[in-house]
Amino acid sequence: MTTIRSSAPVAALVLCAAAAWAQIGTATISGIVKDSSGAVVSGASIRAVNSDTGFERASQSTPEGAFHMPGLTPGVYTLTVQIQGFKTWRNQGLILQVDQNANFEVSLDVGQVTETVAVTGQAPLVESQSASMGAVIDTQKILSLPLNGRNFVELALLVPGANTGAPGAGVGGGFSVSGTRSEQNAFQIDGTSNSDGFENNISIRPSVDALQEFKIQTNNYSAEFGKGAGAQVNIVTKSGTMQYHGSAYYFIRNNKLQARRFFDSNRISFPCNRSDPSVATRPACAPPFNQNQFGFTFGGPVNWLPALAKREKKTFFFVNYEGFRQRRGAAGLHEVPTPEQRAGDLRQNLADRASGSGRAGTPVASRPDFRSAELAASDGGRPLAVGP
């Protein structure tokens, strides 16, 4: 019986709504501001506000009417453009994904700044700011699609150009893209490297309930990525928000609904009915198998501290714990010494290995480590030769 026990330690991530300058694992909003006649508008105020954390990034349009706001955490945003003499332009419910560069062409109408033009359209699906190829696996796919062992890396096979790689390959996440070796894959988590230094295996494999999304780039990625010629897997974990939120889960697998494999035919160790005395004919069942995966997530604002209770919610936490328990049986067939061999009588071994005789008719063993006393005989005063 084999028992496997593992658990992920409780980790608390305290996130502050400060500027995040790292480009890996973030998103970008860019575009150009024009009026209804098509002329560019300079000096317009642009604000992007995260709906979950209240994080705000502000900018102004250049003399060419362009604006660029990098380093945005993936999530839901409200984008607002204002300038005196024009109506306020607002896009609510804008979803930014990891490594996305959302480009907008903002058209302002003449009017009072107190008037608002609401835009509900999302960012263009066609990535016009980058030539990289890949796909984003969002939270809905991560939690809805079945995963054997809750291993999110298996979802990489949803991306065009990805396959299981060489048979038995377990390095580099166990998948291959664009014909490269699996050990050429590189992993990042929240903007930092998540690959080991030997075989490019994923170092930290977070629980699927702690993942917000991840993006797999298969080709033409930018110079900020490196380490391998395969896929670039960029993981973003969940964080705390202005509202408390959490989840709890429990998954169980056992042999109640487990079918017997073709080679699970050990009637002695795993019979279906142990009270059946007929060992030779009683049917065999699957070995015992019990697997349990359980855990929880919890996040929210840090407002229980006296120093932060009266301040604006800008500090958050997120905790995830996952336990893994596995108990399974296994049986095998092994050779054991016979009673004669345990008593030191190895004549049967010598008889089985005799392969011929010398010119004097003396048996010659096929291996030198089974020489007998008869091999000491000589032929004309010369020792008999033995086989290699």
Strands 116-119 and 88-96: parallel
**For position 14, what pLDDT does the model report?**
42
With a cut of 70, say whether residue 204 has pLDDT above it: yes
Q: Bigger pLDDT: 122 or 50? A: 50
Contacts of 202 (CB under 8 A, 6+ apart): 153, 173, 187, 194, 195, 196, 233
Yes or no: say if 50 and 75 are a contact pair by the CB < 8 Å rule.
yes
Q: Give residue 115's pLDDT band: very low, low, confident or very high (50, 70, 90).
A: confident
How many whole angstroms separate alpha carbon 322 and alpha carbon 199?
26
Q: Percent helix, strand and coil across the chain, each rounded to 5?
A: 10, 40, 50
Residues facing residue 177 across a β-bridge: 162
Per-residue model confidence (pLDDT) at position 62: 94
pLDDT, averaged across the chain: 79
- β-pairing, 2-16 vs 315-328, is antiparallel
Please report the pLDDT score of residue 1 as a whole number.
Answer: 53
118-121 CB contacts, 8 Å cutoff, 24+ apart: 118/90, 118/91, 118/92, 119/89, 119/90, 119/91, 119/92, 120/91, 120/92, 120/93, 121/91
If you average pLDDT over residues 321-347, what whole number do you get? 84
Say whether pLDDT at 5 is over 60: no
Most confident of 18-32, 109-123, 374-388: 109-123
Residue 13's nearest CA partner among 325, 352, 335, 299 is 299
Mean pLDDT of 149-157: 87
pTM: 0.70
Q: What pLDDT does residue 351 have?
A: 59
User: Going from the N-terminus, what domains does the chain have, and what CATH number goes with each?
Assistant: 19-119 (2.60.40.1120), 133-237 (2.170.130.10), 245-328 (no CATH), 347-383 (no CATH)
Q: Of 217-221, 286-290, 369-373, where does mean pLDDT reach its minimum? A: 369-373
More confident site: 128 or 177 = 177
Residue 299 above 90 pLDDT? Answer: yes
CA distance 371 to 386: 9
Residue 307 has pLDDT above 80, yes or no: no
* Lookup result for tokens 């300079």: 42
pLDDT band at 40 (very low <50, low <70, confident <90, very high): very high
pLDDT digits (tens, 9 = 90+) for 239-292: 899 889 999 999 988 877 777 777 777 888 888 888 888 888 888 888 888 889
And the tokens for 342?
């345990």
How confident is the model over 122-133, as pLDDT tens digits?
655 566 777 778
Higher-confidence position of 165 and 201: 201
Matching residue, tokens 């855990």: 295
Does position 192 have pLDDT exceeding 60, yes or no? yes
Lowest mean pLDDT among 95-104, 161-170, 302-311: 302-311
Between CA 50 and CA 118 the distance in angstroms is 17
Max distance between CA atoms of the chain, in angstroms, equals 123
Q: What is the pLDDT of residue 86?
A: 92
- Read off the pLDDT band of 223 (50, 70, 90): confident
